[in-house]
Amino acid sequence: MIGTDLSQTAALMAPFVDWPSIAIVGGGTAIALALRHPLGDLGRAIAALTLAPRRRFGADALLMQIDALSRIAKRHGVMQLDQSVIDDPDVGAAIAVIVDGGAPDRVAQLLDERRTARAERHQAAIAVWASMAEIAPAMGMIGTLIGLVRMFTTMSDPRAIGAAMAIALLTTLYGALIATLIALPVASRLRALARAEWMERTRLVPPLTELAAREQPRLRPVQERTA
């Protein structure tokens, strides 16, 4: 029963599979993307596919960790934070600055720089998928023109007319499907994730700068003695 259903599905889908059309749209889109974007951005766009199914970034767990770190520093001294395991790179970098006696403004600047750099990397990946949504339909139209030219030059051969017409129609279909079902949804999803992470990471700045402001006066005598 299952084998029969699969064979029927394959028979229904067979007219919609045309390898020359796939090569025109897929190959043309890939070439155009390679010419438009650096290879590093293309790699980020592919790697970003693993992020698309994830839930939106939330800062609640990091805020709880920062609060715990603040209590440790208050009880045992800020130097004790060097032994803490911090998975988030932004929080880890900020804590390192705090342990070194950095000012609150320096901590805020560091977090802003890291947040901006991350957002730029995200935007580079999003731009690749947005470009794909733009390029794929255009390649579909180019394929349609190629198919029409082939059809008009082979009017005397009915079999060639059918193959040329398949290219003309299916390339448009492939371009539209790539844009509407793949590229645009991925770009929209990544854009939403990036926006949420940007907003959530701004919540990390106040508690970390507060920790820096509290610990800096305590560290100054120690730094003066070791200088």
Residue 148's nearest CA partner among 135, 161, 137, 157 is: 161
Distance of CA 167 to the CA centre of its chain: 33
Residue 63, burial from CB neighbour count under 10 angstroms (0-12, 13-18, 19+):
middle
The torsion angles phi and psi of 18, rounded to 5 degrees, stand at -140, 110
Q: What is the pLDDT of residues 159-203, one digit of tens each?
A: 778 888 888 899 999 999 999 999 999 999 999 999 999 999 999
| pLDDT over 90 (residue 81) | no
The predicted pLDDT at position 44 comes to 94
Amino acid code (one letter) for 31: I
Q: What is d(CA 64, CA 87) in angstroms, rounded to the nearest whole number?
A: 13
- Average pLDDT of the chain is 89
Question: What HEC string does 143-179 produce?
Answer: HHHHHHHHHHHCCCCHHHHHHHHHHHHHHHHHHHHHH
| pLDDT over 50 (residue 227) | no
Residue 98's nearest CA partner among 209, 225, 221 is: 209
What is the mean pLDDT of the segment spanning 73-81? 88
pTM: 0.84
| pLDDT over 80 (residue 4) | no
Domain residue extents for the chain: 56-217
Confidence tier at 11 by pLDDT (50, 70, 90): low
Q: What is the pLDDT of residues 213-223, one digit of tens each?
A: 988 766 555 44
Residue bearing the bigger pLDDT, 116 or 51: 116
Confidence tier at 224 by pLDDT (50, 70, 90): very low
The torsion angles phi and psi of 101, rounded to 5 degrees, stand at 90, 20
| pLDDT over 80 (residue 98) | yes
> Taking the chain, what is the end-to-end CA distance rounded to the nearest angstrom?
82
What is the mean pLDDT of the segment spanning 93-102? 92
